[in-house]
């Protein structure tokens, strides 16, 4: 059995669970999905799914349990602050079926920070130190409220600066796979002009994932062809094939214009 996987990197997957009414109402525009997607791709972790759920315990618990069973890692953002609507930590404890209590190390960090900044310790701030028992802290240099990790779930803040600092803290602890390599070519024609031939290239090269992403600019409809693979040679071959195909299509369009 081990022989079959020798030399093949394990594929490491992840999901992101964004928690917050403010994202669903449109009041706050999420910045964490795009950042995390790019960050994990660069690490060699495949982000396979994102969900956004409201600040409601049953929703958080259900989504978390569905995702943590399925992916190597689940990252969450939002809902770990000091106010009544910050219910992520308790929901995570519930999802794992473990007790929820003050984390002594988190309390110490908070006390130290408050002594430095002149803030007062109170019930609201103490909320931020409550975590599933057994969780390890995910520190950050910006806020005194740590995130935490329990098994394959990493719980982070919603504020982008803090979330990004937490990702930096936790990244060295994560298993990573072979990086997905990527090449992009701009079509300089309409997607509909290349779809058939591009599909044939995709079919002939199953180890390269080919995507076509249309966009509209002042010159009209255009597309980016993105090729992704963990195999550098196959990726280079496909890029050559796509460029040759685009040259043929451009020549055909030009001939048609002249006719």
Question: Which residues ranging from 88 to 127 are in contact with a second copy (CB under 8 A)?
Answer: 118-120, 122-125, 127
Return d(Cα 136, Cα 127) in angstroms, integer. 17
Chosen residue from 3, 26, 172, 206 binding a second copy by CB under 8 A: 26
Q: Which is nearer to a second copy, 232 or 256 (CB)?
A: 256
- Binding of residue 143 to a second copy (CB under 8 A): yes
Q: Which residues in 70-108 are b (16+ Cβ under 10 Å) and which e? A: ebbbbbbbbbbbeeeebbbbbbbbbbbebebeebeebbe
CB of 196 to a second copy, least distance (A): 4
3-state DSSP assignment of residue 215:
strand
CB of 1 to a second copy, least distance (A): 26
Q: Which is nearer to a second copy, 82 or 136 (CB)?
A: 82
CA–CA distances in Å: residue 122 to residues 44, 79, 100, 147, 190: 42, 18, 19, 19, 60
- Binding of residue 207 to a second copy (CB under 8 A): no
- Binding of residue 199 to a second copy (CB under 8 A): yes
Q: Which is nearer to a second copy, 89 or 150 (CB)?
A: 89
- Binding of residue 55 to a second copy (CB under 8 A): yes
Return d(Cα 59, Cα 91) in angstroms, integer. 9
Q: Which is nearer to a second copy, 99 or 119 (CB)?
A: 119
Q: Which is nearer to a second copy, 150 or 156 (CB)?
A: 156
The radius of gyration of the chain from alpha carbons, rounded to an integer in Å, stands at 23
Q: Which of 113, 103, 112, 108 is nearest to 80 (CA)?
A: 103
- Binding of residue 217 to a second copy (CB under 8 A): no
228 forms bridges with which residues in the sheet? 182, 209
Q: Which stretch binds a second copy (CB under 8 A): 75-83, 100-108, 166-174, 239-247?
A: 75-83
Q: Which of 112, 76, 107, 69 is nearest to 91 (CA)?
A: 76
Chosen residue from 8, 9, 10, 38 binding a second copy by CB under 8 A: 38
- Binding of residue 52 to a second copy (CB under 8 A): yes
């Amino acid at each position: 059995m081990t022989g079959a996987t020798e030399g093949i990197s394990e594929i490491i997957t992840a999901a992101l669970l964004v928690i917050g009414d403010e994202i669903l109402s449109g009041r706050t525009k999420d910045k964490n999905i795009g950042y995390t997607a790019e960050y994990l791709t660069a690490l060699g972790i495949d982000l396979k799914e994102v969900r956004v759920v409201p600040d409601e315990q049953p929703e958080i618990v259900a989504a978390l349990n569905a995702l943590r069973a399925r992916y190597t890692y689940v990252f969450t953002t939002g809902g770990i602050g000091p106010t009544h609507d910050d219910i992520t930590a308790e929901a995570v404890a519930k999802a794992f079926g473990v007790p929820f209590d003050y984390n002594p190390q988190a309390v110490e960090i908070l006390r130290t920070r408050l002594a430095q900044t002149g803030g007062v310790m109170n019930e609201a701030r103490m909320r931020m130190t409550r975590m599933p028992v057994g969780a390890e802290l995910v520190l950050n240099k910006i806020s005194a409220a740590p995130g935490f990790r329990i098994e394959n779930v990493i719980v982070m803040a919603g504020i982008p600066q803090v979330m990004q600092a937490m990702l930096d803290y936790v990244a060295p602890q994560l298993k990573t796979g072979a990086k997905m390599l990527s090449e992009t070519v701009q079509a300089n024609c309409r997607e509909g002009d290349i779809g058939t031939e591009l599909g044939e290239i995709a079919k002939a090269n199953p180890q390269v994932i080919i995507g076509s992403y249309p966009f509209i600019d002042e010159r009209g409809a255009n597309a980016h062809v993105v090729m992704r693979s963990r195999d550098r040679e196959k990726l280079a071959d496909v890029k050559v094939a796509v460029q040759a195909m685009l040259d043929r299509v451009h020549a055909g369009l030009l001939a048609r214009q002249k006719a």
